[in-house]
A and B are shown apart, each in its own frame.
Chain A
Amino acid sequence: MQKYIVRRLLLAIPTILGAITLLWFAMQAAPGDPALMFVPPDFQGEEAEAYLAKVNEKYGFNDPLPLQYLRYMRNTLQFDFGTSLRTMRPVSEDLARRIPNTVRLGVAAFLLATAMGISLGVLAAIRRGTWVDSALMVFALVGVSMPNFWFAYVLILLFGLYIPILPPSGLGGPKHMILPTIVLGYTSAGYLTRYVRSSMLEVISQDFVRTARSKGVSERNVLIKHALRNGLLPVVNVLGINMAFILAGSVIVETVFAWPGVGLYLIDGVVGRDFPVIQGAGLLIGTSVVLVNLLTDVMLVYVDPRIRYE
């Protein structure tokens, strides 16, 4: 088992290095000269060219590509993502300031989605075939199918403008977190609800549940002690996927709610064609996803003793 965990850890390293490399190649392939972004717009003719040469010199844009790649890799591994082309601030400092905001929102949404997904999924499985089941499945389907930004604006319209009880956007007290958390949580709870329901149904139809029932175990205990434990095991697997899904969703939700997190930073970078920012934010998201997946895989080893790891 320990061997498996170590192997899994080692496998994550090339994935992260690959993601770093992929981002570098992508930015190299982008059309347009990034050095031009540095030149102040009021510089003209020779003055601009002289400045351009200085920029190329300073940032090493003239160096051979392999050298640039190695330098980029070395800097990235030391958490140095360069400076923003627009604000000239170091990207890593910007990111460090924004990470807590994204984590706060992400964890809140994850808890909401997990609580909703598991309870509603179990409820739907228990009440299988009744109107409760149908209603919950429709609820989950709508969550999966709605564009999250649209749902966000519907909520802003309802609770920010028509019944103004919640702040429509921005960072602030706990009240500011309610709407973005609901949007992120509900749209990712849909997948989980559907998954938990089918996982539970599979377990409920198995022999050991029938045995438990036939030997007179109360329905409550059958569900909690026998079905739930086994039904929720595969769910651990999806929790990582769900976290990645929330991270992806936070990019858009942060944009809608002007929530100063990593997602909004990425979008700002993309809109301003600010490549160091795109690289830095993209890498942070990519690495987090790899690490979260690693964590769920390792967790699964401890949670599910039936799985054998060779």
Chain B
Amino acid sequence: MTYAGRDQVYKQEIAQLEADELLHISGARRAWYEFRRNRFALVGSVFIIFIALMGILAPIVSTHDPYKQSLRKRMKPPTAEHFMGTDELGRDVYSRLVHGARVSLFVGIVGTTAGVICGTIIGLISGFFGGWVDTLVMRVIDIMYAFPGIVLAILIVSVLGPSLQNLILVLAIWAVPSLSRIVRGNVLSLVEQDYVLAARALGAGRVRIMFLHLLPNTLAPIIVYATLGVAGAILTTAGLGFLGLGVQPPQAEWGNMLSNGRQYLRKAPLLMVFPGALISMTVISINLIGDALRDALDPYIQS
């Protein structure tokens, strides 16, 4: 037998062993096992942990004060001292990116989490109670869906005015429609199941059924969409920052760094290249994690 052939046999045997082993583990552990085996997820996770550490340790890992201007060193190309160059006010681009990671990740995660919690509760109530509550909630969600993607965010910011708190609020509202729709759909199919009937027969209250019986069984899609939601939130944050409606300068944020850089596209294109590439890589990584979670949790997601 050739080496390649023997390799093939070994691989099959290993796969069989793993499959046997998987029969005995279940639930979250199985999903975790599947997730760990996904190489794309590994790459994404490592990058996100790296960015998160960069944000958390921003004051330590940055080489300069991100707000210190130096008019003599404006728009310099990368050097040993400023290894991503300096911006239009002579500030260190690398240090600003590191501090920007803080804002982007923090805002994206906090906003999405708040939105996911609200959306989940709304979806639970809508699906569980049905009737006019459900009709009303779904009509309102339909109306919100009429303003797709960043349009909803732009409209809300135009009313509330741009600030960090409002940005988080916008991202939270932004996540509500899709989450509540998904949770509602799941709940609708779950309330028919016997275990819910059993719980009801045993005298469980509505709140108990919703949060102890329905919620745990609809967690899988919530986790997947929350992850993908963070990716969308970071893109929205950057888009708003770019339009001047997000985090306001001088605070360093990836979107408004891009917005500043566009005036110097010809003179200093690197001002746009670095933040844009960083946003793209961050969002790609989160999407990779989200896709892997979707694959790993697949048996628990009803289509």
The chain A residues found within 8 Å of chain B, CB to CB, are: 14-16, 18-19, 22-23, 26-27, 29-31, 141-142, 144-150, 153-154, 156-157, 161, 244-245, 247-249, 251-252, 255, 266-267, 269-271, 273, 278, 282, 285-287, 289-290, 293
Contacts and interface: CB of A to CB of B under 8 A. Distances in A.
B146 A248 contact: no
B258 A19 contact: no
A137 B283 CA distance: 15
Closest 7 A-B residue pairs measured CB to CB? A248-B149, A150-B276, A145-B283, A286-B146, A244-B148, A18-B143, A248-B148
B150 A251 contact: yes
Nearest to A144: B287
B61 interface: no
B75 to A, nearest CB: 15
Given A18-B139, A156-B265, A141 B288 contact: yes
B146 A147 contact: no
Contacts of B161: 31
Given A141-B284, A289-B146, A147 B151 contact: no
Interface residues of B, number: 42
27 contacts: A14-B139, A15-B142, A30-B160, A141-B288, A144-B283, A144-B287, A145-B231, A146-B279, A147-B258, A147-B276, A147-B280, A149-B239, A153-B265, A244-B148, A247-B151, A252-B239, A252-B242, A255-B243, A266-B151, A269-B158, A270-B154, A270-B243, A270-B245, A273-B158, A282-B151, A282-B155, A293-B145
Interface in B261-303: 262, 265-266, 269, 272-273, 276, 279-280, 283-284, 287-288
Contacts of B150: 248-249, 251-252
A286 B243 contact: no
B244 interface: yes
B154 A267 contact: yes
Nearest to A252: B239
A244 B242 CA distance: 21
Contacts of A270: 154, 157-158, 243, 245
Contacts of B146: 15-16, 19, 286-287, 289-290
Contacts of B160: 30
Nearest to B162: A270
Nearest to A190: B287
A141 B147 CA distance: 24
A289 B145 CA distance: 8
A150 B150 CA distance: 15
B172 to A, nearest CB: 16
Nearest to A149: B242
A147 to B, nearest CB: 5
A31 B162 CA distance: 12
Given A150-B272, A247-B148, A252-B242, A26 B155 contact: yes
Contacts of A255: 243
B143 A19 contact: yes
Interface string B131-171: 00000000110110111111100111111110000000000
A23 B155 contact: yes
Nearest to A246: B148
B284 A147 contact: no
A168 to B, nearest CB: 9
Nearest to B155: A282
B149 A27 contact: no
B97 to A, nearest CB: 14
Given A147-B239, A249-B150, 17 more contacts: A15-B143, A15-B146, A18-B143, A141-B287, A145-B235, A145-B283, A146-B279, A147-B235, A147-B258, A147-B276, A150-B238, A157-B265, A251-B150, A270-B245, A287-B146, A289-B147, A290-B146
